[in-house]
Structure 1
């Protein structure tokens, strides 16, 4: 296509002389159309060049602006008419025009877009995802289990060391107390207590430092080893776990015996017109079992971390809801997750520390508004939720920490507007928006059985929570994102079998459960 050139048009302007109005000065100025500059600037240049009186500036500017607008309109109309005629007569190279626009667009993007390549985290994630979907999966899980065992051994050594120190200090204090008012004074006992506290702090600090160093060393070694393994795997397609550098690690741990538990599973349908199929499980287990570090299961050779590893960098993540108190740093997950090195995300302690810092300002502002200025620092309210990410837990990539008020949860007359219920609603919405397709939650909003939790209390609470979850899942799925395909409702592990059966029988009354069609045939 030939580019349309700009054209020059003559602008004419006349004005009377100062002595005789019948005598006109005629001005003719060539103007480029389309005009790329300012008409006011052109007027100033013309007035200075031809010595035009100042009082004619506004009139001249108006006429010139009108002339430029009219001629520009004509120019575009004539140009477009020619192009349409060329298009009708097949005189335009459409493919060439498209390629030229594509070239110009790419050049523009390359010039002004931020020059950014893949980060180290993205490269590592891609390498890990490729390896866990290869024959190297079993070996990777064995290596991670070996790392976890090393951390557990150090934790056991720490606990034994601190226990011995505590025992020794207890004996010393008992001896001092026995000699009180005879050989020992109260001041000496107080000094001894201070010494014992300092010794305990020093021992705990020393062990924490060693554990942090071990975790950092394992994280670096794990990443370096995986990147070496992916290089070998890509350069040699015949490589297998038996002849790869993966086998330079020791054998796996002995499998632990499986613990039988009460469990039921149902396939349910939600929705009236467009039905959605979900799987809902009812299991008697403590939520911390899902949030423990990887453990080998009873089959031997098959590792409990296989499914979390396969889904780690995917759109099918698993989540768990954990009831916690208002202070993030006191989450029960802290001790559990630190039993193994975290190779993919920041350490759980660092995550909780970041959350604590991040919530200070908004929480203080909210508490100041709602409590007449009596802010509570980093404490959250019932119904608030904070999230942590993990790769070393048995059955959860994402843990939703739901802040719960234990006293209010004991009440038997809870409604759907309770903060814990509303917090659960926010969790299910967040799960759908962030590729969490499987989530576990405490059905009774309690992790353990207590005195007030009678059979009638449990049935009322379960019915309320299940009905709310049903509505929340429908609401969340309607907003787009991932579908919550699997819901796991957990019950305290020491629940009675009869009560468990009653709660399982409650599910078909709330959800539409799919079942086989039994056809009766006539007797032969």
Structure 2
């Protein structure tokens, strides 16, 4: 017997019951039942009752007896079958390879019949092609193409700003002339009509330029993807460094160099954990967070396009993140200006992402606001109509945008922070901004972000109340919380945060920066060289 030849068996079910006139006289019923029984025992009982004209008052008893018989015989069948198979396995009588092939065949047939016929999506194919090309000699070509695409967008943005500036200047002169002739040759109604015309002209000009920019970005995105898919085929066959149909043929390759400014920076290798120690790199740098989120950056030679590192890590498990402090959903910010200055070839553009986020948070924010309002006392409930319909994020909330055209960040975590509460010098670890930072670090570990930069003082710039003592207290609190959050996040699985970059405003005093750098070894366990002492004889 083998696994392929095992068959069901037939057992005889016996049932006896007395006659209506004489209890000593029994009717005996024998019914063959296939074991294992593939049907319903209740259905079989109904067939037996009808076929042998058995009284209906015996239905419950017959059903109970038949169910017990089928269960017992099925158990015996499985025990005997398994015992025989184990004996054959011990004696090497089973065709293991044949059983495996049979199961493989059945599994494939089942998948073909019932599984959804779905292959790799276009996004997955493009991601694989891009990842292979950027890890080949074609990397320089790709970076130059993207740099020239960005320069084209920047030139159009510059033309837009100049056009709107000229229009605004013309309108200002026209309005000043009308105001000068007020009550002589011009009336207030004419001035109001002129103001409406100016507003319509401004809206029309802005809409026209926005439409042209959207069309340019979509054209560049489509052309970039089509060129990359052609380039991957050409590179795989001919292994050329630069594909013959490179868009560089139609673009200038010179980019204006940007000035390099020196900055204060310290780096430490730290160990976290008591038993199973984890090694991390923590940096303290005096820089603006927008320096990490800009589009055009100087490279090591003093100019050009520095996008190699973000491109190499784009489709990998080593993403880079940055934490930006915002008031609410940004509509005008330096990040949006940077992201819009170059075509987004891999993710939806930043405006589409923000629209999606605004729609996604509408319902949960309204629900949270309603719950918080319902928990207030009666006097505060009377003020509810003033807040009705307002959907605003609160301090500690976080939303995320994805980018492929920024200098050193693939993921930007927007942390909503209340500027007034952040000015306080007695902030605790339960502050909403600190809890938001905790959620950011957990999300980073769960989504392959291994390097993240965050503002150490939870402030974008230095103000009057930020004295040296204030900065030291705030830095100590944030670093201690980050230490615990990193340990908590790494214990939950996912990627390890290998690099932590704590940033401070770029105009910080060197003495204060040195004090903050000296604070790191007191909070973290810093690795250092072992110095062996030798004695001379």
TM range (shorter): over 0.9
- Which range is displaced more, 360-369 or 17-26? 17-26
CA contact (8 A) 1:295 1:394 kept: yes
Superposed CA offset, 1:447-466 (max 9, x none):
11112112221121111111
CA distance 1:324–1:516, change in 2 (3 Å): same
Q: 1:418, CA displacement in angstroms?
A: 0.8
Q: 1:62, CA displacement in angstroms?
A: 2.5
Q: 1:498, CA displacement in angstroms?
A: 2.0
CA distance 1:287–1:109, change in 2 (3 Å): same
- Which range is displaced more, 87-96 or 455-464? 87-96
CA distance 1:514–1:100, change in 2 (3 Å): same
CA distance 1:401–1:34, change in 2 (3 Å): same
Match for residue 408 of structure 1?
A: 421
In 2, Cα distance between equivalents of 1:13 and 1:519: 93
CA contact (8 A) 2:318 2:448 kept: yes
Q: 1:515, CA displacement in angstroms?
A: 2.5
In 2, Cα distance between equivalents of 1:413 and 1:312: 40
Q: 1:430, CA displacement in angstroms?
A: 0.6
Q: 1:172, CA displacement in angstroms?
A: 1.6
In 1, Cα distance between equivalents of 2:146 and 2:247: 15
CA distance 1:59–1:277, change in 2 (3 Å): closer
- Which range is displaced more, 104-113 or 281-290? 104-113
In 2, Cα distance between equivalents of 1:75 and 1:498: 85
In 2, Cα distance between equivalents of 1:186 and 1:17: 114
Q: Of residues 22, 25, 35 in structure 2, which corresponds to 1:23?
A: 25
CA contact (8 A) 1:387 1:401 kept: yes
Q: 1:231, CA displacement in angstroms?
A: 0.8
Q: 1:331, CA displacement in angstroms?
A: 4.8
Q: 1:275, CA displacement in angstroms?
A: 1.8
Match for residue 375 of structure 1?
A: 387
In 2, Cα distance between equivalents of 1:73 and 1:468: 60
Q: 1:113, CA displacement in angstroms?
A: 2.5
CA contact (8 A) 1:34 1:72 kept: yes
CA distance 1:168–1:513, change in 2 (3 Å): same
Tell me the SS of whatever aligns to 2:316: coil
In 2, Cα distance between equivalents of 1:262 and 1:300: 19
CA distance 1:126–1:57, change in 2 (3 Å): same
CA distance 1:6–1:332, change in 2 (3 Å): same
In 1, Cα distance between equivalents of 2:434 and 2:134: 37
Q: 1:90, CA displacement in angstroms?
A: 2.3
CA contact (8 A) 2:10 2:33 kept: yes
Residues matched between the structures, number: 521
Superposed CA offset, 1:471-511 (max 9, x none):
11111111111111111111111222222222222222222
CA distance 1:16–1:355, change in 2 (3 Å): same
Report the TM-score, using the length of structure 2 for normalisation: 0.92
Superposed CA offset, 1:389-436 (max 9, x none):
000000100000000111111111111111111111110111111110
Match for residue 486 of structure 2?
A: 473
Tell me the SS of whatever aligns to 2:443: helix
Q: 1:185, CA displacement in angstroms?
A: 2.1
Q: 1:523, CA displacement in angstroms?
A: 6.9
Tell me the SS of whatever aligns to 1:25: strand
CA contact (8 A) 2:319 2:449 kept: yes
Q: Of residues 128, 131, 139 in structure 1, which corresponds to 2:130?
A: 128
CA distance 1:300–1:494, change in 2 (3 Å): closer
Q: 1:298, CA displacement in angstroms?
A: 4.7
Q: 1:469, CA displacement in angstroms?
A: 1.1
Q: 1:108, CA displacement in angstroms?
A: 2.5
Report the TM-score, using the length of structure 1 for normalisation: 0.94
CA distance 1:155–1:240, change in 2 (3 Å): closer
In 2, Cα distance between equivalents of 1:155 and 1:244: 25
CA contact (8 A) 1:232 1:239 kept: no
Q: 1:238, CA displacement in angstroms?
A: 4.6
Tell me the SS of whatever aligns to 1:329: coil
CA contact (8 A) 1:287 1:490 kept: yes
- Counterparts of 1:218-237 in structure 2, within 5 Å, are 218-237=220-239
In 2, Cα distance between equivalents of 1:14 and 1:356: 75
In 1, Cα distance between equivalents of 2:511 and 2:294: 28
CA distance 1:102–1:252, change in 2 (3 Å): farther
CA distance 1:405–1:376, change in 2 (3 Å): farther
Tell me the SS of whatever aligns to 1:330: coil
- Which range is displaced more, 283-292 or 125-134? 283-292
CA contact (8 A) 1:143 1:252 kept: no
CA contact (8 A) 1:428 1:473 kept: yes
CA distance 1:208–1:221, change in 2 (3 Å): same
Q: 1:72, CA displacement in angstroms?
A: 2.4
- Which range is displaced more, 490-499 or 73-82? 73-82
Q: 1:251, CA displacement in angstroms?
A: 1.9
Ranges in structure 2 where 5+ consecutive residues have no aligned partner: 374-385
CA contact (8 A) 2:472 2:516 kept: yes
CA distance 1:301–1:95, change in 2 (3 Å): farther
Q: 1:254, CA displacement in angstroms?
A: 3.9
Q: 1:330, CA displacement in angstroms?
A: 4.4
CA contact (8 A) 1:142 1:252 kept: no
In 2, Cα distance between equivalents of 1:455 and 1:239: 54
CA contact (8 A) 1:266 1:281 kept: yes
Q: 1:350, CA displacement in angstroms?
A: 0.3
Tell me the SS of whatever aligns to 2:331: helix
In 2, Cα distance between equivalents of 1:16 and 1:324: 88
- Which range is displaced more, 245-254 or 63-72? 245-254
- Which range is displaced more, 382-391 or 479-488? 479-488
In 1, Cα distance between equivalents of 2:525 and 2:86: 62
CA distance 1:302–1:179, change in 2 (3 Å): closer
Superposed CA offset, 1:283-313 (max 9, x none):
1111111111133425068741110000000
CA contact (8 A) 1:256 1:295 kept: yes
Q: 1:387, CA displacement in angstroms?
A: 0.1
Q: 1:100, CA displacement in angstroms?
A: 2.0
CA distance 1:240–1:182, change in 2 (3 Å): closer
CA distance 1:135–1:248, change in 2 (3 Å): farther
- Which range is displaced more, 141-150 or 297-306? 297-306
